[in-house]
A = this chain, B = another copy of it.
């Protein structure tokens, strides 16, 4: 009798730890958001579940900026482009007098962007084209291993969202194939997406510039041309999904109006489907923003989420932790 009660006591003591240890999403607070995501994954992947989806059709797509990592005060790729303008400036003395470059070199980013989209395009072309794909890969890899966020002082790859890393891992364990579908540059994400997210280059979809197969000193190279090829944003996202993946996802995560059509396309199909919006509500641990933000504006998608049946994640309420414990000083 005594032994029995000791066993029961010991069991009750360890039970929460066992439950906790087997929780695939430990950094998510208990609540309807976590339940709806875990429930969906369970329904489509548990063998014999009446809603089981064949493994080959378990396609999950994720926006990157603001969904898998931080996008404030501006996109990480913009930090990269500005740093690269400064790095390339010695080869371009004319930039000292010419906008949008002159303002960047003076450290006045706001003025440099006053030229709107044409200015942005000029910065992208000056910093992302004119290299081979192998060279650009190295430039991005070198930059991402060194650059740090101006406010948190973390490396950008340490500003990924821990709760989303848990989702990615749990999905892959449940037979899903996970894809990034981002408005960001496809070749800006590929050099580090596998190490950081576990998403290999061939599962990264993004915006691209045109490429050309050429020869340098008799060896073949793929040259990056100063010409836009594809913009993977808004209506471009379902198109990019069709071009790269060739079938409709059953699960989509986004955080801005740029993801509206991706979530719409994903959830308009037949069978079990889920669309999820990350709502940036936490002004202490990250930054709270939605309809009035220039970067990652979230308005229409948030308004229509209830009608569309999309789950809305409240970062402040639903995420116990935002970033991974920093491993790099």
Contact = CB atoms under 8 A, between A and B. Distances in A.
A245 B133 CA distance: 13
A162 to B, nearest CB: 23
B238 A202 contact: no
Contacts of A219: 268
Interface stretch (A72-80, A141-149, A163-171, A205-213): A205-213
30 contacts: A56-B194, A59-B202, A133-B242, A177-B202, A179-B202, A186-B243, A187-B246, A190-B246, A201-B245, A201-B247, A202-B202, A202-B203, A202-B244, A202-B245, A202-B247, A204-B246, A208-B243, A211-B239, A211-B242, A211-B243, A212-B239, A213-B235, A213-B238, A213-B261, A213-B265, A219-B268, A220-B265, A220-B268, A222-B239, A244-B244
A-B pairs, top 6 by smallest CB distance, nearest first, are A201-B246, A213-B235, A202-B245, A190-B246, A213-B238, A211-B239
A17 to B, nearest CB: 34
Interface residues of A, number: 35
Contacts of A264: 220
Contacts of A208: 243
A26 interface: no
Contacts of A200: 56
Nearest to A234: B213
Contacts of A236: 213
A182 to B, nearest CB: 13
Contact of A220 (B177, B212, B238, B245): B238
Contacts of A211: 239, 242-243
Nearest to A222: B242
Nearest to A265: B220
Given A213-B261, A220-B265, 14 more contacts: A56-B200, A177-B202, A179-B202, A186-B243, A186-B246, A187-B246, A201-B245, A202-B203, A202-B245, A202-B246, A211-B242, A211-B243, A222-B239, A222-B242
